[in-house]
Amino acid sequence: MSKPTRKMIKTTCPRDCYDACGIVAAVDDGHVRKILGDPDHHIAKGVLCGKCAIAYNGVWRQPNNRLTRPLKRTGKKGEGAFEPISWDKALGTIASRLKEIIDGGRHDTIVHAHYTGTVGLIAGWYPLRFFSHIGATEVDPDTVCNKAGHLALDYTVGDSLDGFDPETLKDAATILVWGANPSHSAPHMHKAWLRDATAKVIVIDPIVTGTAQDIAETHLQLRPGTDAALAFGLLHVAKTHQLLDREFIENTVKGFEEIEADVDAADPETTAGKTGLTPEQVIETGIAFAKGPSMIWLGQGMQRTARGGNAFRSILALVAGTGQIGKPGTGYCYMNGPGTRGIDMDSATAAHVAQGTSSVSHMDLAATLEDGDRSAALFTWNCNPLASSPDQGRLRKTLEREDLFTVTCDVFPTDTVAYADIVLPAANFLEFDDIVAPYFHHTLSAQVKIQDPPGDALPNQEIFRRLASKMGLEEPLLHESDDELLSRILAMTPYRGGFAELAKAGTVQVFDKPRMQFPDGFPTPSGKIEIASETAEADGLPRVPEPHADEQTAPGRLRILSPASKWQMNSSYANDRGVQRQIGKILVLVHPHDATARGLKTGDKVTLANDVGSLPVTVDVSELTQPGMGVVYKGRWPNAEPSASNINVLHKGEKSDIGEATCVHSMEVDLVVQEAAE
């Protein structure tokens, strides 16, 4: 037998991940043999993260674990009993049901949920054209993730999608990693970018994260929900050490004087009392930060708290008061949106073809679906709400509603899929071309077709083009081809090559020198950084940020943080056996102090419970957490657990202070002892 001809094809990982790793697929005579990291990629440097190395060589390439045919439900909702049908039949059924609803004047009772199952600019956004054109109600995706932070930044600096250029870290003396855990959520940035930094790395996190442990020179292990108080404390230190940037404040900041009394009151002792830190930690960090040049990685974890929006506004007050923005080695990054590379996302979503769309928060999803007057149909794509959204028990019940016409489009048979009337099989990222605009670096990457989709699976965008045709929708933007989209997106960027060149390169830098944050000034009403925001005030929020700290958890209760797991991408990969071996049983990390008080040891079985649900878990006594606080990493498919639930069964869907967004990290529970380990 002759040796197969091996081709190495570059592509990009389109998961919702800061790293956006370059990938190479080793393809022998047209068959994918192995998915590897791209050695040329500036972040991946030839290595994938553990979860992707397993899952992309596991469940993502096993057709028997995929959805490969359109399906029609044959059993009860939730049972997962389906029969295959043709695309024609599936789309015909959906089209006639949706048209009936629209013709009855109830287009806004078509509820659609979506998120970042893929972040490809086409597969992740093109289907929005269809839903906004028919006037469906969108379940606002960011409300389950990062909306409070986005809006807080919008109030303060006018745009939440313009961050520092990571290339400028070499100019910084200090970087605060504030409420992000790169060791899980950006593993290559953790291993390379942060580890190689000459800047002093300070991690501010209630958990001893891998980044706090392996890389940080200083770890401020504050109590959760006390970040605003810390930001004011750091400003106090800056002020008393004459390190405020008065000239910057005078020229570029609106309303600093309105918070000065609170800054004066936030002395190190008071701040230490509110946050659980020591006065010395507050003083040292305050001086290092204010001296600069200092950068802040503004994590998404920190804003998922009851007053997460206020925390972000307070941290921006720290940046503004010390003038740590606009010079090399300064600034903060929440996220760099495609706009930093010139891409107008309205062109992907074609916002102007919308017909009066409305939205609801994920926090209200269960309530919306309970109410037949508000929801006649549910369409989910690129997300798995039954695993990731709040109030899981109640949500599951609403999905049993016989009169809720439910369509789910996914790559895999998730928990949410089990409740669908019609299931649409999506092609995965190895099976079509797309473009990824990474959300940390100002780069552009090609997602390249390596193989055909299995069975009848189709890319999201093709599914929605076909559905638009079935419904007789003639709007040309509902029928734009992938080739047109790829060229149009690239034409908006400074990159001068076409898709074929991008595909050859994998990832390209689009700027030849580091990009300035806010090159055209701050797009706020005053053109300044608005610590005092009339827009916020008009929205019923405090005019200025406040030095808030959450109350300490009541004795006997535990505050549970459920951040990113090292081995999963949200709920994705929980269906891979290799990943399942890594994640094992659901653990709750409990501090030795709490374990001793309750007579618990590692391996004991306990139940976490509150007024919305309960979850059996296994204790892991761990110094990584702190007294009064437990950790249960997010993710997992409920149907892969004996209890048929995950941590979101305990998430009440309470809203943070800004944007009706999740405050999942404010969750409190009772810990009930079931049985001791052998």
Ligand X SMILES: Nc1nc2c(c(=O)[nH]1)N[C@H]1C(S)=C(S)[C@@H](COP(=O)(O)OP(=O)(O)OC[C@H]3O[C@@H](n4cnc5c(=O)[nH]c(N)nc54)[C@H](O)[C@@H]3O)O[C@H]1N2
Q: Which residues of the chain form contacts with ligand X (CB under 6 A)?
A: 16-17, 115-118, 123, 144-146, 178-181, 184-185, 204-207, 209, 224-225, 227, 299-302, 304-305, 381-385, 387-388, 409-412, 414, 426, 428, 460, 561-566, 568-572, 634-635, 647-648, 651, 664-665
Task: Using alpha carbons, select from 138, 616, 162, 113 the residue that is nearest to residue 388.
Answer: 113
Binding mask 602-621 for ligand SF4 (x = CB under 6 A): --------------------
Binding mask 357-396 for ligand SF4 (x = CB under 6 A): ----------------------------------------
d(Cα 282, Cα 298) in Å, to the nearest integer? Answer: 18
Q: Which is nearer to ligand X, 357 or 662 (CB)?
A: 662
d(Cα 396, Cα 414) in Å, to the nearest integer? Answer: 13
The count of residues interacting with ligand SF4 (CB under 6 A) is: 13
In the list Mo ion, ligand X, ligand SF4, none, the entry touching 48 (Cβ below 5 to 8 angstroms by class) is: ligand SF4
Tell me the closest approach of the beta carbon of residue 304 to ligand X, in angstroms.
Answer: 6
Tell me the closest approach of the beta carbon of residue 2 to ligand X, in angstroms.
Answer: 36
Confirm if 451 and 430 have CB atoms less than 8 A apart: yes
d(Cα 391, Cα 651) in Å, to the nearest integer? Answer: 5
**Region 557-596 residues binding Mo ion, contact defined as CB under 5 A:** none
In the list ligand X, Mo ion, ligand SF4, none, the entry touching 656 (Cβ below 5 to 8 angstroms by class) is: none
What is the CB-side half-sphere exposure of residue 533 using CA atoms within 13 A?
A: 29
In the list ligand X, ligand SF4, Mo ion, none, the entry touching 19 (Cβ below 5 to 8 angstroms by class) is: ligand SF4
d(Cα 560, Cα 570) in Å, to the nearest integer? Answer: 17
Q: Which is nearer to ligand X, 123 or 468 (CB)?
A: 123
* Binding of residue 21 to ligand SF4 (CB under 6 A): yes
* Binding of residue 13 to ligand SF4 (CB under 6 A): yes
Tell me the closest approach of the beta carbon of residue 441 to ligand X, in angstroms.
Answer: 15
In the list Mo ion, ligand SF4, ligand X, none, the entry touching 52 (Cβ below 5 to 8 angstroms by class) is: ligand SF4
* Binding of residue 194 to ligand SF4 (CB under 6 A): no
Q: Which is nearer to Mo ion, 338 or 425 (CB)?
A: 338
Q: Which is nearer to ligand SF4, 16 or 227 (CB)?
A: 16
**Region 553-612 residues binding ligand SF4, contact defined as CB under 6 A:** 569
In the list ligand SF4, ligand X, Mo ion, none, the entry touching 387 (Cβ below 5 to 8 angstroms by class) is: ligand X
What is the CB-side half-sphere exposure of residue 589 using CA atoms within 13 A?
A: 20
Question: What does the buried/exposed string (b/e) look like for 280-311 if buried means 16 or more CB atoms within 10 Å of the residue's CB?
Answer: ebbbbbbbbbbebbbbbbbbbbbbbbbbbbbb
* Binding of residue 441 to ligand SF4 (CB under 6 A): no
Tell me the closest approach of the beta carbon of residue 51 to ligand SF4, in angstroms.
Answer: 6
CB atoms within 10 A of CB 648: 31
Q: Which is nearer to ligand X, 143 or 252 (CB)?
A: 143
* Binding of residue 228 to ligand SF4 (CB under 6 A): no
**Greatest extent of the chain over all pairs of C-alpha atoms, in Å:** 81
What is the CB-side half-sphere exposure of residue 76 using CA atoms within 13 A?
A: 5
Measured in degrees and rounded to the nearest 5, phi and psi for residue 249 equal -60, -45
The count of residues interacting with Mo ion (CB under 5 A) is: 1
* Binding of residue 38 to ligand SF4 (CB under 6 A): no
Tell me the closest approach of the beta carbon of residue 299 to ligand X, in angstroms.
Answer: 4
Give residue 636's region: left, alpha or beta (phi > 0; psi -120 to 50): left
Task: Using alpha carbons, select from 491, 667, 489, 482 the residue that is nearest to residue 588.
Answer: 667
Measured in degrees and rounded to the nearest 5, phi and psi for residue 309 equal -65, -45
Segment lying near ligand SF4 (by CB under 6 A), choices 10-18, 235-243, 259-267, 487-495:
10-18
Q: Which residue has the tokens 């077709």?
A: 449
Start-to-end Cα distance in the chain: 56
Q: Point out which residues pair with 589 in neighbouring strands.
A: 620, 631
Q: Which residue has the tokens 């007057």?
A: 373
Q: Which is nearer to Mo ion, 16 or 482 (CB)?
A: 16
* Binding of residue 17 to ligand SF4 (CB under 6 A): yes
**How far, in Å, are 134, 441, 443 from residue 421 at the CA level?**
20, 40, 40
Confirm if 574 and 581 have CB atoms less than 8 A apart: no
* Binding of residue 145 to Mo ion (CB under 5 A): yes
Tell me the closest approach of the beta carbon of residue 215 to ligand SF4, in angstroms.
Answer: 16
d(Cα 154, Cα 525) in Å, to the nearest integer? Answer: 11
In the list Mo ion, ligand X, ligand SF4, none, the entry touching 188 (Cβ below 5 to 8 angstroms by class) is: ligand SF4
Residue 516 CB partners (closer than 8 Å, separation 6+): 165, 326
Binding mask 236-255 for Mo ion (x = CB under 5 A): --------------------
Residue 220 CB partners (closer than 8 Å, separation 6+): 202, 203, 204, 205, 230, 275, 277, 281, 285
* Binding of residue 119 to Mo ion (CB under 5 A): no
Q: Which is nearer to ligand X, 115 or 193 (CB)?
A: 115
Segment lying near ligand SF4 (by CB under 6 A), choices 46-54, 190-198, 424-432, 572-580:
46-54
Among 25, 35, 49, 139, contact with ligand SF4 (rule: CB under 6 A): 49
What single-letter DSSP state applies at residue 627? T
Confirm if 190 and 210 have CB atoms less than 8 A apart: yes
Tell me which residues touch Mo ion (CB under 5 A).
145
Tell me which residues touch ligand SF4 (CB under 6 A).
13, 15, 17, 19-21, 44, 48-49, 52, 187-188, 569
